[in-house]
A and B are shown apart, each in its own frame.
Chain A
Amino acid sequence: MAKKNAGSLVWSLAVPVALLAIWEAASRAGVINPMILPSPSAVFLRWVAYARPARPFDPAEGTYLAWFFSGELLHDAAASLYRVVMGFVIGAGLALPVGLLMGTSETVYRLLNPLLQILRPIPPIAYIPLAILWFGLGNPPAFFLISLGAFFPVVMNTIGGVRTVDAIYIRAARNLGASGATLFWRVILPAATPHIMTGLRVGFGVAFIVVIVAEMIAVNNGLGYRILEAREFFWSDKIIAGMISIGLLGLAIDTGLSRLSDHLLRWHRGIEVGK
């Protein structure tokens, strides 16, 4: 088993490592202008500098832990994460009840669906001017844009999940005496959970895209802001270091959500739960 894992690790790393080696060699040979594309080693050093605390540890300034987390990268990551989570909670928090209502009530569905279909194709980015007009600068317009981005995938998947609940479960539940709220909470909602979880994951992905854009316009920290700032100074190495940080953070979040989803859906046919 361990041997197999080591083997698959070699396979999955082969192409990235080879690309990095060629890139590094080309940079060192002077083939590529470092302003346009810095070498991998330069990016790495810049990333370390970005992540490291700016000043050496001084007990007078606070605890070791506070010092350790005083680096720019961790502050930016925390700021971005805070915006994503706030926006996501607002967006998904509105989308879930709306989606559940639209899924269960034909009347609500017919009332709200046209509006939803008109608004859905408008990318959140198109709301940027209005967001600034309505909410000014700082976090509020970012929350607004992110929640918009998260709202639609969650609402659409929730409606779909509720409307496609297999009729046999409802028949069985009614036969066992369930109705009204019991039918909804104990049967319809759990049956729709696989769809809802998909919506939440997609919604979080969109929220993560939107946060980077939102940070480029209205705030002065966060990973998105840092990339734009680096551009002003032609720090290509820092731009790439920022991009990599975004990628790592996104991967970490999605892995967490996927774990959560596997746990909530451990009953689901498609998922094999490891022993």
Chain B
Amino acid sequence: MSEIDPNKAPMSPEEQRAYQARQKQRAVIMAGLLMFMVVLFYLITIVKIGSSS
């Protein structure tokens, strides 16, 4: 293990690319999940309104 605190040392271009790629991957998946939840909650709301009226 390196003695330099990895979170404080400046990133090399290679590290930066890998970090940004992972950030992007997570962001895309999170966006997909959020869209899914929006649709699901919309459907739940419609069903709940339908059953109470």
Verify that A and B bind, or say they do not. no
Please give the residue numbers on chain B whose beta carbons come within 8 Å of chain A beta carbons, in ascending order: none
Please give the residue numbers on chain A whose beta carbons come within 8 Å of chain B beta carbons, in ascending order: none
